[in-house]
Amino acid sequence: MAPMLLAGIALAYLGFGARVIPPATVIEALFAFDPTRFDHKVVVELRMVRLLVGLLAGASLGVCGALLQAITRNPLGEPHVLGLNAGAVLAVVSSITFGPALASGFPAVSGPVLIAARPVVAACGAAAMFALVLATASAGRQGLTPLKVTLCGIALSSFAAALTSAQLILDDQTLATIRLWLAGDLSGQSYAALRGAVPVCLLGFGLACAIAGRLNAMALGDGVASGLGVDLVRTRWAGLAAAGLLCGAAVSLAGPIGFVGLVVPHVVRACITRDLRLLLPLSAVLGACLLLAADLAARSLLAPRELATGALTALVGVPVFLALAARSR
Amino acid sequence: MVFAVKARPADRHRLDVPQDPALEPSPLQAPPIAPRAPPGLSVDGLRAGYGRRVVVDDVSFAVGAGRMTALIGPNGSGKSTLLAAMARLLKPFGGSVRLDGRSVHEMPTKALARALGILPQSPLVPEGLTAYDLVSRGRYPHQGFLQQWSDADEAAVEAAMRLTDTLDFAQQPVDSLSGGQRQRCWIAMAMAQETRVILLDEPTTFLDLRYQVEVLDLLRHVTRAHDRAVVVVLHDLNLALAYADTVVCLKEGRIRAVVEDGVGLDPALIHDVFGVEVMALRHPQTGRPVFVPVTGPSEGAA
């Protein structure tokens, strides 16, 4: 059912816009592309990239959220709340600011290489930030509690955002080129950027699925999980790497988009399953659905003007976040 | 059972014939360990604690199959620490914990998890997780990356749930069950793991007397009928005496006494371990001792 929902949303996504194209024409454009027809060109050359970006980013965010909620045993776990997004943005902005200067000594490293490396840079930033959040939250006598993880995530997010702003204030040009991306937006991406992000995303997803069984055991507590033969430390490191890769792939494409990773796993858990081996792939599908739907709304609500997609997911996500925060023990 | 094979004299003789080592089946080929460690779980000179603080020291005892062993002692005497070190949740500072002669701290984690199970004191119940799903997670050590769920898993889960009488609420969320039902689900999870040794940290705490008895009856049944070695940390001295074959009394991190079938446990020993004056009665049914506190100075003096 979930894949059908996704297919329906994708079809609507390709059809709607400044120029509405009927579903039949969209399907025709996909399966019998005719370069002389304007509608076909719009679907395949303009909207298709954006659709793929949305699919990949949404799926990555959904899985990343499910993963973070499992690792931190925190219902509020999410790349935006736990600082991964801010870490990824900081890494990308720093690479834009300092990258060319650093790369000037190496002629092989030119502009296109920097863009292709962006998902990896973002992934490193996200993973490093998450590691920092976990380290600070684990300090103290009680160890890692859901509340401390959330607080440290929010605090360190602000810190990273401050460092990002400082760089952007000093460098107007960078700000101008990435302002929309900073707010979380699916537009303005190319197939080149997608090609860079796909392997990062797949690696993260594969790693996440490989540890799903272990995370199921860890949900019962560290003692039970060790008793079942789970290597806690290795699983946490793998989870951290997977979350970083997924978040990096998403942020490099769509900017820091919040709350998709928060809402999606909760919906899957409430409606379908708590078993992470199933929950992770379902979160991918549903995450893609949600992000595409949000982007569709962002494009059409105030047409012909566009809202930032990240603003729209926050509009849906914040009430869910508050409801969960009020309910959590 | 590897050990049954090894112990047979006929097999031993056959080993003496020189053979190409590569052709020999590995269990028979293993060089004789001298002196042979007893089958079951044995703790030898164990020293463990947290950070740099030593909590248990110089602890040695053995647990055999088909026997239930209770660890008792006052708060802070190191019962839970000892159990955690035995289940390799805690790396010991010194000494060893051996399962059939192999150090549990050197065995591969998943292989050990197929032989030794641990139920910690307050495990977490994810919101909305059903009893069946909880028990199923006990099968983790038997599953590989490719073999996710087999008929053997299904059979083990069902058997464990039947044994613990939890099938009636298999599809209900564990967090909606009563304390006793919930504890039975956890024990079912440990049973589904199909380990020869099961360690439980205070499985009766926070339960009404009725559920305490229910849980201990279940554990005794598991011990006897399924020939498991069960080690359980208990708070209640009299319940420990009533149910356990062996009672290990801990005081300040060291073993003060090991009592078999209640023999040799007297008020003086209880006073030494727990620091309270007690009087001994005899359980009319089992003949084992029961200890009641001496109440108040005026009545007690009489």
State whether B118 and A227 contact (CB < 8 Å): yes
SS3 B302: coil
Q: What is the DSSP letter of A317?
A: H
Summarize pLDDT for A269-300 with one digit per residue, the tens: 888 888 899 999 999 999 999 998 888 888 88
The pLDDT of residue A75: 85
User: In this complex, do B89 and A219 lie within 8 Å of one another by their Cβ atoms?
Assistant: no
Question: CB distance A228–B141 less than 8 Å?
Answer: yes
Closest-CA residue of A relative to B130 is: A274
Question: Mean per-residue pLDDT for B49-62?
Answer: 90
A328 vs A309, more confident: A309
Query: Using beta carbons and an 8 Å cutoff, which residues of A are at the interface with B?
Result: 73, 210, 213-214, 216-217, 219-221, 223-224, 226-231, 269-270, 274-275, 277
Residue of B137, B143, B150 to mutate for A, most A C-beta atoms under 10 A: B137
CA dist A163 and A92 (Å) reads 12
**Tokens matching residue B83:** 């159990």
Question: B140, A228: Cβ pair inside 8 Å?
Answer: yes
- Which of A221, A211, A322 has the alpha carbon at shortest distance from A266? A322
* Inter-chain touch A226–B140, beta carbons under 8 Å: no
C-alpha B164 chain-centroid distance: 17
Query: How close, in Å, is residue A150 to chain B by CA atoms?
Result: 19
Nearest residue, CB atoms, A219 vs list B114, B121, B126: B126
pLDDT of residue B9 exceeding 60, the answer is no
Q: Do B137 and A216 touch (CB under 8 A)?
A: yes
| Torsion angle defined by CA atoms of residues B17, B20, B26 and B28, in that order, rounded to the nearest 10 degrees | 0
- Contacts with A275 from chain B: Cβ below 8 Å: 133
Residues in B closer than 8 angstroms to A272, CB to CB, are: none
Shortest Cα–Cα distance, A172 to chain B (Å):
48
List pLDDT tens digits, range B259-291. Answer: 888 888 888 999 999 988 999 998 888 888 899
pLDDT surpassing 60 at residue B14: no
Kindly report the number of other CB atoms within 10 A of residue A68's CB atom: 29
Q: Is B234 helix (H, G, I), strand (E, B) or coil?
A: coil
Q: pLDDT, tens digit, for every residue of B104-132?
A: 888 888 899 999 999 998 788 888 899 99
- Of B228, B242, B217, B222, nearest to B64 by C-alpha is B228
Strand pairing class (B94-99; B254-260): unpaired
pLDDT in tens, A91-139: 988 888 887 777 666 666 566 666 778 889 999 999 999 999 999 988 8
- With pLDDT > 70 as the criterion, what percentage of chain A qualifies? 96
Residue B24 pLDDT grade (very low, low, confident, very high; cuts 50, 70, 90): very low
B167-205 per-position pLDDT tens digit: 999 999 998 998 888 988 999 999 899 999 999 999 988
Q: With bands split at pLDDT 50, 70 and 90, how would you rate the model's confidence at A177? A: confident
Q: Which residues pair with B50 in a beta bridge?
A: B53
Distance CA B13, CA B19 (A): 13
**Would you state the pLDDT for residue A105?**
65
* Stretch (H or E) spanning B45: strand B41-50
Residues of B in contact with A226 (CB under 8 A): 87-89, 109, 118
Question: What element of type H or E holds B3?
Answer: helix B2-7
Given this model, what pLDDT does residue A61 score?
94
Is pLDDT larger for residue B70 or for residue A299? Answer: B70
Choose, out of A224, A266, A269, A274, the residue to mutate when testing the contact with B (most B CBs < 10 Å): A224
The residue type at A11:
L
pLDDT computed for residue B30 by the predictor: 46
pLDDT band at A147 (very low <50, low <70, confident <90, very high): confident
pLDDT digits (tens, 9 = 90+) for A214-230: 999 999 988 899 999 99
Both tokens of residue B210?
Answer: 């009725």
Contacts of B86 (CB under 8 A, 6+ apart): B41, B43, B46, B97, B104, B199, B231
**Residues whose CB is less than 8 angstroms from the CB of residue B285 and which lie 6 or more positions away in sequence, other chains included:** none
Distance CA A221, CA A71 (A): 11
Q: Are residues B129 and A274 in contact, defined by beta-carbon separation less than 8 angstroms?
A: yes
Question: How close A292 gets to chain B, by Cα (Å)?
Answer: 29
pLDDT at B4: 38
- Which residue in A91, A58, A64 sits closest to A247, CA to CA? A64
- pLDDT reported for residue A58: 93
Contact A157, A278 (CB under 8 A): no
Which DSSP string corresponds to A89-112? HHHHHHHHHHHHHHHTT-TT--HH
Residue that wins the pLDDT comparison between A326 and A244: A244
Half-sphere exposure of A35 (CA within 13 A, CB side): 0
Residues of B in contact with A274 (CB under 8 A): 126, 128-129, 133
Least confident of A48-57, A243-252, B34-43: B34-43
Contact state of B141 with A216 under an 8 Å Cβ cutoff? no
Residue A58: CA atoms inside 13 Å, Cβ hemisphere, count? 27
User: Which positions in chain B touch A220 (Cβ < 8 Å)?
Assistant: 123-126, 134, 137
Instruction: Supply angle C-alpha A296, A297, A299, rounded to 5.
Output: 65
Contact B193 A228 (CB under 8 A): yes
Residue B19 has pLDDT above 60, yes or no: no
Please classify residue B299 by burial: count the beta carbons closer than 10 Å to its beta carbon, then call 0-12 exposed, 13-18 middle and 19+ buried. Answer: exposed
Mean pLDDT of B50-70: 90
A227 vs B contacts (CB less than 8 Å): 87, 89, 113, 116-120, 193
Residue B118 and residue A224: Cβ atoms within 8 Å? yes
**Residue B248 vs residues A105, B37, B89: alpha-carbon distances, Å:** 71, 21, 20
Instruction: Output the pLDDT for position A328.
Output: 61
Instruction: Check whether B302 has a pLDDT greater than 50.
Output: no
Q: pLDDT at position B296, please?
A: 67
The percent of residues in chain A predicted with pLDDT above 90, rounded, is: 33
Per the prediction, chain A carries an average pLDDT of 86
- Around Cβ B177, how many Cβ atoms within 10 Å? 17
Nearest Cα residue to A195 out of A84, A56, A310: A56
Q: How many CB atoms lie within 10 A of CB B276?
A: 13
| Residues of chain B positioned with their CB less than 8 A from the CB of A224 | 118-120, 123-124, 189
Contact B119 A221 (CB under 8 A): no
Q: Is the predicted pLDDT of residue B23 greater than 60, yes or no?
A: no
- The secondary structure of residue B107, as a DSSP letter, is S
ipTM field: 0.77
- Pairing, β B246-251 against β B254-260: antiparallel
Tell me the C-alpha distance between A23 and A14, whole Å.
8
Question: Which residues on chain B place their C-beta less than 8 Å from a C-beta of chain A?
Answer: 84, 87-89, 109-114, 116-126, 128-129, 133-134, 137-138, 140-141, 143, 145, 148, 189, 193
Query: Is B300 or A40 the better-scoring residue by pLDDT?
Result: A40
Q: Which residues of A touch B203 (CB under 8 A)?
A: none
**3-class secondary structure, B197:** strand
Give percent above pLDDT 70 in chain B. 84
Chain A contact set for B126 (CB, 8 A)? 219-220, 274
